[in-house]
Structure 1
Amino acid sequence: MDIPALLTSAGMNIGISVGMFSLYSILRKQPLNVKVYFGQRVSQGRTRNETLCFERFVPSASWILKAWEATEEDIFASGGIDAVVFLRIVIFSIRIFSIAAILCTFLVLPLNYFGQGMERVIDSNAMDLLTIGNVREGSRWLWAHCFTLYIISGCACTLLYYEYKNVARMRLEQVNRFPARPSNFTVLVRGVPWCAVESYNESVGKFFGNYYASSYIAHQIVYRSGAVQTIMEDAEMMYNLVTAAPAKPCEPNADRCGLCGERSNSFKATSSESETETKNRKIEDELREKECEAALVFFRSRYDALVVSHTIQSADPMLWVTELAPEPKDVFWQNLCVPFNLLWIRKISVFIASIVFSVLFLLPTTFVQGLMKIEYLQSVFPWLRGLSRRSYYVNLITGYLPSLVLTVFLIIVPPTMMLFSTLEGAVSRSTRKRSACVKVLIFMFWNVYFSNILSGSWIERMGKLTVTSPRDMITLLAELIPRQASFFMTYVMTSGWSGLGCELLQPVGLLGNWLFKCVLQKEEEFCRPVTFSYHTEVSRVLLFGLLGFTFCILAPLILPFLLVYFFFAFLVYRNQIMNVYFVKYQTDGSYWPLAHNATIFSLILTQVVAAVLFGMKKSSSASTFTIPLIILTALFNVFCKNRFLPVFKNRAAKVLIEMDRDDERSGKLEEILEKLTTAYNQFELCGVEPPGKEEKPKKGSNGSLEDLAIVKTGSPSAEVVVNGGSPPAEVVVKSGSPSAELPPPPPPPPEPEPNIVSIN
């Protein structure tokens, strides 16, 4: 790619980004878009009325100032520790690439430009003149590149160490900040063995009551749930009704569901003990049929739960598998029903599906590189030669269109990887999102970075690219990476700069909200508070970090583009975390080890490529001197894993024991244990009614209440069942007590009008 094509892409992305930022500053002030741009603040009740004024229709940068002035405590209060860790990743990138930009702009870039003299500048305006490829073989200037690489690697490792230390400290403080978390006392048990004599519920109670009698409190069995299970049950019920139930004529006053016959407004009371016992037995049978081989077991202390979760409970490691339970709102109930012995099959299937998806994605990657190498394709496809007569079209196709096409294709990657992570059997939503983040990151590294480099070279050589060994691969990367610098510059502008504008605008929520309110005239809100897409944004930031490290000494011109992205990402994500995204669950900073490993991989890849490239440039001393840097970086990674990583995988027994003793001395332990057994209410958290429980009244087609409501009377053997109908209703108690008339229920109070979020 030449300089005019790069400038064309820069101009278009700058115009799009400025337009989106300006449009956002206007739309965020409109009361119609409150739930779109202030969902997090609305969920916390931080609202107030806003008057109509001219300033609402004028672009402003007030949100930038607020995002800049926000402290880390404000970010923690709004987004939790995960939001703080994500912004620490962005801050780390700003710091290290600021250092790299200063060194490479004043030291490396001039050496690359003047590597073979000024005579080539007159004959060519290609970007290759600004890369290390312009340095002649055997040049002593390559020592400057090696020296710069040492400084950047040393600064990166130092910053990584302090960031890892701070995040580990915040994670330990998180335990002390929330001592009454139910997950501290709860163990998730999977692989409960099946027994024909007793149910899963009875097996779990007997096992833990026998072996952990002193610490075991109670347990809660997990029941099958989810949309698929509901559809299967409804289909089975309808089949039984059609095949088994005899057809009966509709009676005019029959007590039915309202589909036929006249509506009855009478009350019936069923007080027969035999009917009650039959109903209870039926409910127990329904619950037993829905039991899964998983349960949540509650213990008296945090330390007891920790010991049980890290102990093998049976000689067969596939039975009675234990781990610490997630938080109640973090549990992914559908996957708890997956048999534990089938998880390995799911993981292998997902692994194969991920490979197939990555291979299929090579098609759009090759197409993108074909747009960039259009001059090579003209020899194969003569009809493309007409484009070269118009330079503007060539600059647009080779400069802006490839990065745009790749960005559009990459939209399907995060939801696909989230689906794969769900099929793997993650037991918590946070674990599922982190697993999706790992998959997206690996996909980005391979399909965006390596595939574009290799496919671009394959098109240049028209299919003659051959790699026979890992050594050939490293040599090829060292030769090809500098040539792809211009493409990745345009990708940073399109996916990074314009992507931040889309992040601010929230186009899906904005269009949906307008459609519901303005077109469909719906009273309910389309937009609800959404959680932050860590699996998408963390992967993008780390991919740009890989680009920054690998190109810092090979093609330093990419660093200013990256710094612009990281600086605006710091402001945009701060604004979104404080205003838009709702915190439902946390991973307690588990994204930092992923960021640390990705950064170490980027550093080692940069050092290996630089060492090979120095050898190709016939500077054996600089190449040899780079090898100790690779070893030191690998040793630093081992040190950090031994020093900090255990904090992210386990909980300190000393801290938990001290917390248990403090709660026992203060009398808070009994209060915590009382609330423990009701914290994991599967039916309430899933938003469904348990079997045997009547559903809440809801409106029928004619607006009347048609469902049943149960009213307990003072008599233990009497129960009043209310049939639907518009009030007033007659009440007849058939339990031996005299008839009574109950007044109709009062109408619900009118809902207060929501206030408008403050946008000052």
Structure 2
Amino acid sequence: MFVSGLLASVAINFTLCTIFFILYSVLRKQPGNYKVYAPRMLAEGRAHRPRRFHLDRLLPTAGWLKNAWQPSENDLLAYSGLDAVVFMRIIIFSFKVFCIAGFIGIFILIPVNCSGNQLHDMDYVNIANNTLEVFSISNVNNGSDRLWYHLGAVYFVTLIVCYLLYAEYKNIASKRIAYFFSSEPQPHQFTILVSNIPVSKGSSVRSSVENFFTEYHPDTYLSSVVVHRKSKVWTVSNAVKNLYKKIINLRRVHNQQQYMRVDHQEKMPDVEVNVRIDKSREEVRAAFVSFNSRYGAAIALHMLQANNPTQWLTEQAPEPQDVYWPFFSSTFMGRWISKLIVIVSCVLVTILFLIPVFIVQGLTNLAQLETYFPALKNILTMSIVSQVITGYVPNLILQVSLKIVPPIMKVISSQQGYTCVSEIERSACHKVIWFTVFNVFFANVLSASAFSLVFIILEIKEIPSKLAVSVPAQASFFIAYVVTLGWTSTSSELFRVIPFIGSLLCKPFSRNSDHDFTVPSFPYHQDIPKILFFGLLGFTYFFLAPLIIPFLLGYFALAYIIYRNQLLNVYAPKYESAGKFWPVVHDSTIFSLVLMQSIAFGIFTLKKLPHATSVTLPLPVLTLLFNEYCRKRFLPIFTAYSTEALRKKDREDQSHPAMPQFLNQVSAAYHNPALVPMSYSASYDSLHKPLIPTAEVRG
């Protein structure tokens, strides 16, 4: 790609970003758009519709920038939880790293690269017609001592990143412990999930659980709730609740009180009676078992419960609102088969996505396009057309294709047998990260000269040398990728294109109500992989083609202010994992460092600088040793709380006046929400008791 193509891409995307900002600053002030741009504020009663029209509602303003910038990290922690803070720390960490790397790349490495003449002398008068490779390491002469600047930069940035990674890991680990101590008693802290419960003939799951834990955990066992399989109960209960919501909306709109009384008071209780009759056939050999202390729950969690290790399996119970109930509808064999299906599904999605990758690579190579489509030769030779096709269209196609990947990976992850939504999202986050690394980075780099290639077969020994040749050649493509997938995509998150269009389409068919909408949760599995992949591009290209760094810094600056705004106004937390996404960030960053060092090894070999190649060898070894130390030092804090923390928190709660009442009600939090009746009318008091009385509390 020529400089002119990159400038065309930057111009198009900068214009789109500006349009999104202007439209957002106007549309957010319109009362009819509060559900789109401030659903959380509306749900919490912090957004009030103005009674009078004001002219400033039609003028773009930047007041929202100040509102998003002002809240401190502690304010964000109190308002959106530790997961939101960790997400913002990812952006801050990346910005710090690439400020340092950018200074080295822009002021040291680019002048070194431009001073070489390996490719050709730069035409400063007609700079737009230069290829971007003249700014990269490819332009440095083979065997030149100037390559030692690049080696020094790789060493320096590795040390800086490891230092900042350690500091962030330590900081977030301490925040996780502090968050635990500052939290009120939560049901999941006192509860474990027990599965593969053996049931003797003539007994029930509930009695087996009661007998087992009464005998082997007599001092700490509190209560249990047996899980029931999703079947008719789930379907009928949800149908009843959906019907009830529709009736409520009808009464609100049309004031049909008589209709409400007849239909709901006569028909709905009959449906619930049928649900109660069906309940006896729906037990699953799993139960939520609660204890009278956090320490008691931890003892039961981490000890082998039976001589047969396949029975009485235990895991930490998720938060009640985080439970993924459909999981319990799968049998043991069904879950085993589903894991195989997940592997096959991921492979198929990865292979299918190679199709848009090859299309993208074909568009970046005009010579190939002219060969395959000779009729378009006259059009493709036009300057503006070639600039748009090579600089903007390929990344637009890639952006549209990538939009569907996170939802697909979340659906695939939901079939792996996870018991909570947060685990599903973390699993999907892993899948999206590695999918993006393979399909966007490796597939684009290694298939750059093979438009019709379907399968790429590599020998491990040749990977560093092939990357050394291919990665610098794709610098211009990935710079345009950062601008399109970074700048424009993040700005469209602010504008919320799809929810806004959906709101416009639904307005003619629904009345304006502040009650019939859902506050969305933050899509961590979608946005964390995007940030981490941009980090990988930054690490890879900061010493190869440093020109990418300013565009990355622009993305991180945009992401910081936009995501703060969205966390404060749009998204409400649906669960709290207390920072468990950070180990994913740490591992991904370590991989990016090792990849950078492997490419450096190949580059110095290719550039015939053997001493630099030898000096590069210890870097990946030291990086992996550092990673192993961090795993030993910090990762256990993210998997379980220490005896010290649990005992201290339990002692603090002993004097809490509400603790006895909390313990009496802790098991009720894990009733399947589909099996808990709604209070349709005050005249039906019998409907307030659970459909399935599965909890027994010991006094």
Using structure 1 for the length normalisation, give the TM-score.
0.82
1:476 aligns with 2:466: yes
Residue aligning to 1:300: 292
After TM superposition, list the pairs within 5 Å mapping 1:558-637 onto structure 2: 558-637=548-627
Per-residue deviation, 1:300: 1.3
User: What secondary structure, in the 3-state scheme, does the structure 2 residue paired with 1:379 have?
Assistant: helix
Per-residue deviation, 1:667: 5.4
1:670 aligns with 2:667: no
User: What secondary structure, in the 3-state scheme, does the structure 2 residue paired with 1:52 have?
Assistant: coil
1:367 aligns with 2:341: no
User: Per-residue CA shift, 1:122-145, capped at 9, x if unaligned?
Assistant: 496111111111111110000000
**Contact 2:233 2:275 survives alignment (8 Å):** no
- 291 and 302 in structure 1: CA distance in 2 versus 1, 3 angstrom threshold: same
**Contact 1:294 1:337 survives alignment (8 Å):** no
1:286 aligns with 2:278: yes
In the alignment, the residues of structure 2 paired with residue 545 and residue 614 of structure 1 have an alpha-carbon distance, to the nearest angstrom, of 23
In the alignment, the residues of structure 2 paired with residue 677 and residue 168 of structure 1 have an alpha-carbon distance, to the nearest angstrom, of 29
After TM superposition, list the pairs within 5 Å mapping 1:270-281 onto structure 2: none
- 634 and 681 in structure 1: CA distance in 2 versus 1, 3 angstrom threshold: same
Residue aligning to 1:23: 23
2:376 to 367, 384, 401: 384
Residue aligning to 2:689: none
- 592 and 286 in structure 1: CA distance in 2 versus 1, 3 angstrom threshold: same
In the alignment, the residues of structure 2 paired with residue 560 and residue 468 of structure 1 have an alpha-carbon distance, to the nearest angstrom, of 33
In the alignment, the residues of structure 2 paired with residue 392 and residue 111 of structure 1 have an alpha-carbon distance, to the nearest angstrom, of 32
Higher-helix-fraction structure: 2
In the alignment, the residues of structure 2 paired with residue 119 and residue 229 of structure 1 have an alpha-carbon distance, to the nearest angstrom, of 70
1:142 aligns with 2:147: yes
User: Per-residue CA shift, 1:149-200, capped at 9, x if unaligned?
Assistant: 1111111111111111110011111211114111111111111124431122
In the alignment, the residues of structure 2 paired with residue 570 and residue 102 of structure 1 have an alpha-carbon distance, to the nearest angstrom, of 20
Residue aligning to 2:450: 458
In the alignment, the residues of structure 2 paired with residue 696 and residue 285 of structure 1 have an alpha-carbon distance, to the nearest angstrom, of 20
Q: Partner letter of residue 540 of structure 2?
A: T
Per-residue deviation, 1:512: 2.5
Per-residue deviation, 1:345: 2.4
User: Per-residue CA shift, 1:240-290, capped at 9, x if unaligned?
Assistant: xxxxxxxxxxxxxxxxxx99xxx89999xxxxxxxxxxx99x987633211
Identical residues among aligned pairs (%): 37
- 325 and 205 in structure 1: CA distance in 2 versus 1, 3 angstrom threshold: same
- 296 and 374 in structure 1: CA distance in 2 versus 1, 3 angstrom threshold: same
User: What secondary structure, in the 3-state scheme, does the structure 2 residue paired with 1:678 have?
Assistant: helix
Per-residue deviation, 1:511: 2.3
Per-residue deviation, 1:210: 2.0
Residue aligning to 1:702: none
Q: Partner letter of residue 606 of structure 1?
A: M
Per-residue deviation, 1:622: 1.1
After TM superposition, list the pairs within 5 Å mapping 1:381-460 onto structure 2: 381-459=373-451
1:314 to 278, 299, 306: 306
In the alignment, the residues of structure 1 paired with residue 173 and residue 307 of structure 2 have an alpha-carbon distance, to the nearest angstrom, of 35
Residue aligning to 1:6: 6
1:710 aligns with 2:692: no
In the alignment, the residues of structure 1 paired with residue 684 and residue 481 of structure 2 have an alpha-carbon distance, to the nearest angstrom, of 62
- 578 and 195 in structure 1: CA distance in 2 versus 1, 3 angstrom threshold: same
Residues 30-39 or 638-647, more deviating: 30-39
In the alignment, the residues of structure 2 paired with residue 478 and residue 507 of structure 1 have an alpha-carbon distance, to the nearest angstrom, of 39
Per-residue deviation, 1:382: 2.4
**Contact 1:434 1:591 survives alignment (8 Å):** yes
Residue aligning to 2:248: none
Q: Partner letter of residue 351 of structure 2?
A: V
After TM superposition, list the pairs within 5 Å mapping 1:140-219 onto structure 2: 140-219=145-224
Residue aligning to 1:513: 503
In the alignment, the residues of structure 2 paired with residue 541 and residue 620 of structure 1 have an alpha-carbon distance, to the nearest angstrom, of 35
- 409 and 137 in structure 1: CA distance in 2 versus 1, 3 angstrom threshold: same
In the alignment, the residues of structure 1 paired with residue 606 and residue 374 of structure 2 have an alpha-carbon distance, to the nearest angstrom, of 36
Q: What is the aligned length?
A: 659
Listed as ranges, the gaps of 5+ residues in structure 2 are 240-257, 267-271, 687-699
User: Per-residue CA shift, 1:28-83, capped at 9, x if unaligned?
Assistant: 11111112111122233223453422211111111112222221022112221011
User: What secondary structure, in the 3-state scheme, does the structure 1 residue paired with 2:201 have?
Assistant: coil
Residue aligning to 1:93: 94
Residue aligning to 1:723: none
**Contact 2:464 2:601 survives alignment (8 Å):** no
Residue aligning to 2:337: 345
In the alignment, the residues of structure 2 paired with residue 659 and residue 514 of structure 1 have an alpha-carbon distance, to the nearest angstrom, of 50
Residues 375-384 or 349-358, more deviating: 375-384
Residues 434-443 or 42-51, more deviating: 42-51
Listed as ranges, the gaps of 5+ residues in structure 1 are 235-257, 268-278, 698-707, 713-760
User: Per-residue CA shift, 1:375-408, capped at 9, x if unaligned?
Assistant: 1232344223223331211111111000000000
Residues 651-660 or 91-100, more deviating: 651-660
After TM superposition, list the pairs within 5 Å mapping 1:39-54 onto structure 2: 39-48=39-48, 50=50, 51-54=52-55
Residue aligning to 2:76: 75
**Contact 2:42 2:48 survives alignment (8 Å):** no
**Contact 1:343 1:425 survives alignment (8 Å):** yes
Residue aligning to 1:537: 527
- 522 and 58 in structure 1: CA distance in 2 versus 1, 3 angstrom threshold: closer
Residue aligning to 1:731: none
1:554 to 507, 521, 544: 544
Larger radius of gyration: 1
- 388 and 663 in structure 1: CA distance in 2 versus 1, 3 angstrom threshold: closer
**Contact 2:354 2:454 survives alignment (8 Å):** no
Q: Partner letter of residue 214 of structure 1?
A: D
Per-residue deviation, 1:672: 2.7
Per-residue deviation, 1:222: 0.9
**Contact 2:42 2:514 survives alignment (8 Å):** no
Per-residue deviation, 1:437: 0.8
Q: Partner letter of residue 436 of structure 1?
A: A
User: Per-residue CA shift, 1:591-628, capped at 9, x if unaligned?
Assistant: 11101111110011101110111011010111111112
1:696 aligns with 2:670: no
In the alignment, the residues of structure 2 paired with residue 194 and residue 94 of structure 1 have an alpha-carbon distance, to the nearest angstrom, of 56
Q: Partner letter of residue 179 of structure 2?
A: Q
1:639 aligns with 2:629: yes
In the alignment, the residues of structure 1 paired with residue 216 and residue 53 of structure 2 have an alpha-carbon distance, to the nearest angstrom, of 68
User: What secondary structure, in the 3-state scheme, does the structure 2 residue paired with 1:120 have?
Assistant: coil
User: Per-residue CA shift, 1:327-350, capped at 9, x if unaligned?
Assistant: 111111111332345433222210
**Contact 1:35 1:42 survives alignment (8 Å):** yes
In the alignment, the residues of structure 2 paired with residue 264 and residue 497 of structure 1 have an alpha-carbon distance, to the nearest angstrom, of 53
In the alignment, the residues of structure 1 paired with residue 487 and residue 263 of structure 2 have an alpha-carbon distance, to the nearest angstrom, of 64
In the alignment, the residues of structure 2 paired with residue 401 and residue 42 of structure 1 have an alpha-carbon distance, to the nearest angstrom, of 38
In the alignment, the residues of structure 1 paired with residue 135 and residue 73 of structure 2 have an alpha-carbon distance, to the nearest angstrom, of 39
